[in-house]
Amino acid sequence: MESKGTLTPFEDYLIESLQDPKEAQGYLNVSFEEFVEDNDLNSLLDSLQLIATAKGGVLRLEDKAEMNLENLHKLLIKNPTPDWEEVLEALGYAFF
């Protein structure tokens, strides 16, 4: 993803499509599957940022989430095999 405030046409399209809950759910599922395979935290966080942007921005998402994004980030960084149920539960209510 490019620097904040500068989006490519594809990112604009993707953010628009991620406003649909089914599209966002599918994108999130693929993002987690890829993270499990390649352990690329930056890619996962980029995906979460795109979904958050589509859902109104990080601050709005944090208001709706059961844990703040800083705690989620710590959960993912400190544990190479996080409890995905805990992560999804924390995010699920915020995204969908």
pLDDT recorded at residue 39: 85
**Ramachandran area for residue 26 (φ above 0: left; ψ -120 to 50: alpha; else beta):** alpha
For 69-74, the CB contacts below 8 A with 24+ separation are 72/48, 73/45
- Calculate mean pLDDT across residues 15-38: 91
- pTM score: 0.61
Does residue 27 contact residue 65 with C-beta atoms inside 8 Å?
Answer: no
pLDDT tens digits for range 58-70: 666 566 665 566 6
Tell me phi and psi for residue 23, to 5 degrees. Answer: -65, -45
Cβ pair 93, 64 in contact under 8 A: yes
